[in-house]
Amino acid sequence: MSNVQKDDSVRTLAWMAAALFLAYLSVAMAMPAVAVHVSRTLGMGNVASGLAVGIAFLSTILSRGWAGRLADERGGKVAMFRGLGLYAAASLLCLLSAWQALGHGLASYGVLLAGRLLLGLGESYALVGLLAWAMARLGPARSGLVMAFVGTGMYGAFAVGGPLGLWLLQQLGFGGLMAATVLLPLASGAMLWRTAPATAAAGRRQPFSQVLGLIWKPGMVVGLQGVGFAALGAFFPLYFLANGWHGAGWGLSAFGLGFVAVRLVAGALPDRLGGIPVALVSLAVETVGQALLWLAPNPQMAMLGALLTGMGCSMVFPSMGLEVVRRVPAHLRGTAIGGFAAFQDLAYGATGPVAGWVADHFGHAQVFFIGTLAALLAIWLTWRLRAEARAAASASTGTQPR
């Protein structure tokens, strides 16, 4: 590939990531606002708040296989646009939940949960679709770079969307916030409408269960990494409110700032150094960040913990994703990425209600103790992957592993 072609490919990738950023604002703006809305406006507890945040990931988990198969068979662009349509429909349903005729009770909460489930379905198709689309355009040798750019768009949205969502909640109410999120995926679709699709690779399809058998270990690592982010996203505002601290909306901004900064500086490292060493360093940083959140004596230390958590989480998904791509043939990459992302979704979905129960019984700080333990377990599992990779390399060359 010539330098001109590489430049054009990277520019297209940056444009696609910018469109995802815009679409993902509809997710990011709602995430902390939903927890506050359920807790403060609807008068429900931490478990109900955590469920409202985390239930979106249930439909995401269940639909990752469908999204991956659609991307493999019909191309990533088709899957991406299906996701954008579902984003808009989900925001409309969440807007309906704020309708005064429903009151502020179980009826409103039930409609909100339905909207959150639909949002999770849209997230499944949009993310898998864009990843498959971009990988098909740039090729497997640049898979790590694709995941780095796409993740920058996603978590950049969280950096901006957290405080923006809480500000709109305060200024316009929950209904006004949801009305704003309806327009974002439509604008994203307009950006991508003229971007050319990529031809789907030919090959024999395999059952989703067989693909999972190839990728579950890197998937477990990225799932354990996701516990810390899910705890921060769902409970950082409530953690600050419980302690009487100000500036709760900036927690996701600190996370997003650290996340995006590392992606911009180190986005190509997995392609150059390999996924496993980059993941080990990243998980160590996340562990420190979660421990600081757990033990924070003041809001400044908590913000530092959020920043380090973002820096640590930044390169785990592309690092382990590169390991996943290397384990499957080209025509199964969409399915593999869908299954791989489902592990992270499972962590996001389970962390909300579990962390809510922990917060109710032991206090909000202990939520981040769970995140610390999860990050330590991820380090251990990644170290095992490193040992397995070295043993396999030694077996292929006939030498003894060190």
Q: Which of 355, 37, 131, 362 is nearest to 226 (CA)?
A: 355
Average pLDDT score, the chain = 83
pLDDT of residue 192: 93
pLDDT at 390 over 50: yes
pLDDT of residue 2: 47
Contact assessment for residue 236 and residue 296, using Cβ atoms and an 8 Å cutoff: no
DSSP letter for each residue of 359-396 = HHHH-THHHHHHHHHHHHHHHHHHHHHHHHHHHHHHHH
pLDDT band, very low/low/confident/very high, at 4 (cuts 50, 70, 90): very low
Contact assessment for residue 23 and residue 122, using Cβ atoms and an 8 Å cutoff: no
3-state secondary structure of 58: helix
Q: In the predicted model, what is the mean pLDDT of residues 343-359?
A: 80
Q: Which of 6, 210, 26, 178 is nearest to 108 (CA)?
A: 178
Q: How far is CA 192 from the centre of its chain?
A: 21
The DSSP call for residue 249 is T
Residues 336, 342: Cα–Cα separation, whole Å = 10
Q: How far is CA 76 from the centre of its chain?
A: 18
- ∠ Cα 64 66 72 (to 5°): 100
pLDDT at 153 over 80: yes
Question: Which residues 6+ apart lie within 8 Å of 384 measured at CB?
Answer: 217
> pLDDT tens digits for 74-110?
888 999 999 999 999 999 998 888 775 555 678 888 8
Q: In the predicted model, what is the mean pLDDT of residues 231-252?
A: 81
Comparing 195 with 402, the larger pLDDT belongs to: 195
Full-prediction pTM beyond 0.75?
Answer: no
Residues 231, 257: Cα–Cα separation, whole Å = 17
Q: CA distances (Å), 97 to each of 35, 119, 285, in order?
A: 14, 14, 39
> pLDDT tens digits for 112-124?
899 999 998 998 8
- ∠ Cα 118 374 166 (to 5°): 45
> pLDDT tens digits for 164-216?
888 888 888 888 899 999 999 999 999 999 888 776 555 566 676 777 788 88
Alpha helices in 195-298 (DSSP H): 208-243, 250-266, 269-273, 275-295
Q: Which of 71-75, 269-273, 395-399 has the lowest mean pLDDT?
A: 395-399
Residues 198, 262: Cα–Cα separation, whole Å = 29
Residues 246, 227: Cα–Cα separation, whole Å = 24
Q: In the predicted model, what is the mean pLDDT of residues 273-280?
A: 90
Residue located via tokens 């359920």: 38
The rounded radius of gyration (Å) of the Cα atoms in the chain is 20
Q: For residue 385, give both structure tokens.
A: 């992957």
> pLDDT tens digits for 30-64?
887 888 888 777 778 777 887 888 788 778 888 88
pLDDT at 376 over 90: yes
Residues 196, 249: Cα–Cα separation, whole Å = 38
Q: In the predicted model, what is the mean pLDDT of residues 288-295?
A: 95
Comparing 395 with 171, the larger pLDDT belongs to: 171
pLDDT at 311 over 60: yes
pLDDT of residue 32: 79
pLDDT of residue 206: 67
Contact assessment for residue 335 and residue 79, using Cβ atoms and an 8 Å cutoff: no
Contact assessment for residue 54 and residue 234, using Cβ atoms and an 8 Å cutoff: yes
Comparing 376 with 51, the larger pLDDT belongs to: 376
